[in-house]
Amino acid sequence: MESSPEAALNLLPGYDRVAVEYTRRFCDEMDTKAFDRKGLDWPVEKATDVDPILKLVCGPGQITSSMHYQGVESCGIDLSGAKVRQVQKVKPHIMGKILTRTDACGSLSAYFIS
């Protein structure tokens, strides 16, 4: 498989197409994964009184929302604007501002947990 920015952008329509189902299946997966939540303890402890934690390739926001519930400010970035918009629909009570940047290289969407 080719590894380049162009190759990643070629995958984007597929990610956008499955955004609703992917979010339905995975947005709350951390609720049932005690071991994975435990793995977030270290960055959560280190994040006290610092800038927000940035989650790259955030998808439906399962990790950023888990950090939010632990009291940590966080934000996420994903190439799939559709996935980021799904986070806003499913978890509007914690969503802050959504930013989308589109240029010659494609789109980048980000959200901020408030």
Mind listing the pLDDT tens digit for each residue in 36-87? 888 888 877 777 667 778 888 888 888 888 888 888 887 788 878 888 888 8
The confidence band for 114, taking pLDDT boundaries of 50, 70 and 90, is very low
Identify which of 41, 91, 40 has the alpha carbon closest to the alpha carbon of residue 61. 91
pTM score, two decimals? Answer: 0.70
Handedness of CA 22, 79, 12, 39 (dihedral sign): negative
- Dump pLDDT digits (tens) for 24-39: 998 888 889 989 888 8
- Dump pLDDT digits (tens) for 78-95: 878 888 888 888 887 766
Residues across the chain = 114
Indicate the burial class of 40 (C-beta count within 10 angstroms; 0-12, 13-18, 19 or more).
middle
Give all strands of the β-sheet with 106-113 in edge-to-edge order. Answer: 53-56, 74-78, 106-113, 95-103
